Structure 1
Amino acid sequence: MPPQPNRIAGDAGGRRMPHTLLLAEPRGFCAGVVRAIDVLDAVLDREPPPIYAFHEIVHNRHVVDGFRDRGAIFVDDVAEVPEGSRIVFSAHGVSPAVVEEAERRRLRVIDTTCPLVTKVHLETKNAVRLGYDVLLVGHRGHDETVGTYGEAPDRTQIVESPEEAAAVEVERPVFVVTQTTLSVNDTADVIDEIRGRYPDAEVRNDICYATTNRQFAVRKVAERADLLLVVGSRNSSNSMRLREVAEDAGVRAYLVDGLDDVDPAWYDGVDVVGLTSGASVPDELLDPIIEDLKARGVTTVEPVVVAEETVEFRPPAGLEE
């Protein structure tokens, strides 16, 4: 048999392959993630090991593995940390019980909780002080929801779906807060159900600007794409939501950690590919996917811009120690 031609580009052996790549903008790192990563990076640079971090600093395997290679030790219980050690709290926030245990162990804490998550904690505490019961719309077990719930566990109930909202019972006036990384549309459905049962409920929709912008960008890309790739880790709530948003818009979508997770067969018969990434994902993880698509025949790379983000957060207290 004579040598066969390389079919990576063009028609891939007679099959139609992508010719256009749509890049969702904004995508990737949000201001809260940048702040958390910059802080842990600075601490590792200037302080001797060991440096501990409570929970993954952000929900991305590549970022966490990079810090682990530099000596960061990630723990899920502050009781594992030797007394007097340096510890960095993740961007997702922690409960008062964690703060108290860290103080008891005389840990030197730098708290990188995103300020927009801190806002939800404050709303929860204030609502309880004013006599409300709190309904927390969020995912059980997610680090952010665990931290917020811990502000007032006796007066807070977690609600994940409209079905749960239809069944929840409260004794006092209702105050609603939300996890910051939820699906905008799904959260609206849950809140509508709560309002239907408790018309006087005070509602704070706390989904953050970055989550909202990235979901809106995916919806715009989905108007033209045949396939959408979301780069992000499976423990990342906002990345999972981006895939769901695309699927809800009728577009086939996959969540991948990087190029190694991409199956080239997904491109068969596809003209236009969309690409985005979660708020914990460095842009460098997208570069190999973009180059691979170009090698397969993509000739047009087009940004789809829905917003420009200029938000920056100040460094947390303790970094100057």
Structure 2
Amino acid sequence: MRVLLASPRGFCAGVNMAIDSLELALKAFGAPIYVYHEIVHNRHVVEHFRSKGVVFLDSLEDAPVGSTLLFSAHGVSPEVRAKAKARQLTAIDATCPLVTKVHLEAIKYAKEGRTIVLIGHQGHDEVIGTMGEAPEAILLVESPEDVDALEVANPEHMAYLTQTTLSVDDTSRIIARLRERFPLIAGPAKSDICYATQNRQEAVAKLSAEADVTLVLGSQNSSNSQRLAELSKERGVAAYLVDGPQDVRPEWLEGAETVLVTAGASAPETVVDAMLDYLKETFGATVEPRLVREESVSFPLPKELRQLASS
């Protein structure tokens, strides 16, 4: 078996920043540290921090008054921030700057009185946070069919935004349909889909053409990881999203001469290493690293932690 190891893969700059923030907060303030929702959508990362005394919660009422709270990489609504302040929580904001960009765009368009169409997945943490910036103004769509069903008061005064972790191809189709129905719709000057999501999708699009099977390391609730598996399947190559080698069924790889291995933006490199070890031991695999695009992006720590990091 030949394994094509995709690069870029795994942690993006936003995930690195959020994880570094939580590690530093633990060191500075000690356990327990409370995190609103999962720090990133990955089971291994969440379990790692739980073992260190981090408490992940879905309701701020579960955080003791005056305790330390970290907002995850996915961002939160103004309502959540207000609740944290009311409970006198020491809040550390580890929202990815690319998600913050979308929030600021939502605020801008809402102030202009536009109806905002948000392209995203219902119930995703990032979508909930973005919609919370202007709940009266935002309509959520997930498909071109949803666009067809839209009814707006002023079709000439609209804007669109997108979740940062979507499929580039799917999003382009939805935006095209929006522009067909609403020719005057405004949009961001630069795509909201993050650089890492696009790069990982580009790698799968190019490399899956050489593969018989694609293995994507990532958790089921990771939107960007799901998109990687879907992208391979759309190109006729079987794909499986797994947390690690323990989830692989040997029959998936029967007769496979070339396997593409990649990882979503919230999956740690340790699970990639474990998968490669499994493929070597079980199938005698040889690994061929394949670089599709260089990445050199990094984001600063939250301002609440920068002084601690330098001391």
How many angstroms does 1:291 deviate by?
1.5
Q: What corresponds to 1:270 in structure 2?
A: 256
Moved more, 142-151 or 280-289: 280-289
CA contact (8 A) 1:247 1:253 kept: yes
- The one-letter code matched in structure 2 to 1:76 is D
Which residue, out of 255, 262, 268, partners 1:282?
A: 268
Which residue, out of 211, 216, 221, partners 1:235?
A: 221
Matched, 1:307 2:289: no
Moved more, 206-215 or 294-303: 294-303
Q: What corresponds to 2:178 in structure 1?
A: 194
CA contact (8 A) 1:23 1:303 kept: yes
| Structure of higher CA gyration radius | 1
Query: How far apart in 2 are the matches of 1:143 and 1:259?
Result: 27
CA shift digits 1:154-203 (9 cap, x unpaired): 11001111100111122231110000000000111111111110011112
CA shift digits 1:64-111 (9 cap, x unpaired): 011011000111111221111100000000000000111111110000
CA shift digits 1:112-159 (9 cap, x unpaired): 000000000000000011121100000010000000000001110011
- Superposition TM-score, scaled by structure 2 size: 0.95
CA contact (8 A) 1:137 1:158 kept: yes
For 1:203, what is the secondary structure of its paired residue? coil
Query: How far apart in 2 are the matches of 1:72 and 1:92?
Result: 17
Q: What corresponds to 2:167 in structure 1?
A: 183
Q: What corresponds to 1:139 in structure 2?
A: 121
Which residue, out of 133, 136, 148, partners 1:154?
A: 136
Query: How far apart in 2 are the matches of 1:155 and 1:96?
Result: 15
Which residue, out of 126, 135, 142, partners 2:108?
A: 126
CA contact (8 A) 2:163 2:192 kept: yes
- The one-letter code matched in structure 1 to 2:194 is C
Which residue, out of 145, 156, 161, partners 1:163?
A: 145
Q: What are the equivalent positions in structure 2 for 1:92-107 lying under 5 Å apart?
A: 92-107=74-89
Query: How far apart in 2 are the matches of 1:182 and 1:44?
Result: 31
- The one-letter code matched in structure 2 to 1:57 is I
Matched, 1:257 2:239: no
CA contact (8 A) 1:21 1:298 kept: no
Query: How far apart in 1 are the matches of 2:231 and 2:5?
Result: 16
Unpaired segments ≥5 residues, structure 2: none
CA contact (8 A) 1:231 1:255 kept: yes
Name the Cα RMSD after superposition.
Answer: 1.1
Query: How far apart in 2 are the matches of 1:73 and 1:190?
Result: 38
Query: How far apart in 2 are the matches of 1:296 and 1:81?
Result: 46
- The one-letter code matched in structure 1 to 2:22 is L
Moved more, 191-200 or 288-297: 288-297
Q: What corresponds to 1:114 in structure 2?
A: 96
Q: What corresponds to 2:212 in structure 1?
A: 226
Q: What corresponds to 2:19 in structure 1?
A: 37
- Superposition TM-score, scaled by structure 1 size: 0.92
CA shift digits 1:259-292 (9 cap, x unpaired): 1001111111111000000000111101121122
CA contact (8 A) 2:31 2:52 kept: no
Moved more, 45-54 or 28-37: 45-54
Q: What corresponds to 2:42 in structure 1?
A: 60
How many angstroms does 1:299 deviate by?
4.7
Identity of aligned residues (%): 51
CA contact (8 A) 1:220 1:304 kept: no
Unpaired segments ≥5 residues, structure 1: 1-18
For 2:118, what is the secondary structure of its paired residue? strand
For 1:286, what is the secondary structure of its paired residue? helix
Q: What corresponds to 1:84 in structure 2?
A: 66
Moved more, 42-51 or 239-248: 42-51
User: Alignment length, in residue pairs?
Assistant: 303
